[in-house]
Amino acid sequence: MLLELEDVTKSYATGEGRLEVLRGVNLALGEGESVALTGESGSGKSTLLHLAGALDRPDSGRIAVGGREISGLADAELAQVRRETVGLVFQQFNLIPSLDVAANLAFQARIAGRHDANWMQRLAERLGLDKLMSRYPEQLSGGQQQRVAIGRALAARPRLILADEPTGNLDEATGDAVLDLMLSLQGETGAALLMVTHSARLAARLGSRLHLQGGRIT
């Protein structure tokens, strides 16, 4: 299994006391699987994805990423798990404005010590970015920026791809094209994909669907 959550709980401190967001979440995701995570706004989808991506820690429960238990790891070790195993794609692209497309694409793979020029070139071609390599993020459309963000996430060949409403800021046609690319690259690399979406239509394009409600998967 590339991702396993067992009885995971997570709450936040708020002005009105503790907000229990996840109340015992279980899920398992294996190589090559693609799973959509749906749920109403505020149901805890992003919270779950952050935990799976080793960006935050649960209150209780067990999380294993790439077969490695991460619940008790220190910050530096969590960062290592992220670098080695996880590729993250967010709704807000999060590109680095001062770097051109080529440098944005290579950024995380270089940090991870897994830069591979041939794979980078192939990725750029598959994502239709090969003619845009020396542009800066502000010179790209939303769909182009999100293709860069996907390329950056895949550049280090992560075994687990976590995407949080990756097409949420794109119009429907552009979003569909971006999702097509992400799914075909995920299929090619055999990575596991967990994608948050509030769209039942997009969720139906993935292998299976999980729904988050009342802090649990239903």
Closer to ligand ADP by Cβ: residue 44 or 166:
44
> Which among ligand ADP, Mg ion, none contacts residue 118 (Cβ within 5 to 8 A by kind)?
none
**Binding to ligand ADP, residues 5-24 (CB under 6 A):** 12, 14, 19, 21
Q: What is the DSSP letter of 201?
A: H
Tell me which residues in 31-90 interact with ligand ADP (CB under 6 A). Answer: 39, 41-47
Q: Does 145 bind Mg ion (CB under 5 A)?
A: no
- Say if strands 192-196 and 160-164 run parallel, antiparallel, or are unpaired: parallel
- The binder of 43, among Mg ion, ligand ADP, none, by C-beta within 5 to 8 A per type, is ligand ADP
Min dist CB 132 to Mg ion, Å, is 29
């077969």: which residue's tokens?
A: 67
Listed in sequence order, the DSSP H helices in the chain are 45-52, 75-85, 101-111, 117-126, 142-154, 172-189, 200-203
Buried b (16+ CB within 10 A) or exposed e, 158-167: bbbbbbbbbb
Quick one: tokens of 31? 């190589």
Retrieve residue 179's tokens: 């999702």
What is the smallest separation between the CB atom of 6 and ligand ADP, expressed in angstroms?
Answer: 19
Binding mask of the shown chain, residues 38 to 57, with x at each position contacting Mg ion by CB under 5 A: --------x-----------
Which of Mg ion, ligand ADP, none does residue 218 bind (CB under 5 to 8 Å by kind)? Answer: none
**Could you list the residues that contact Mg ion (CB under 5 A)?**
46
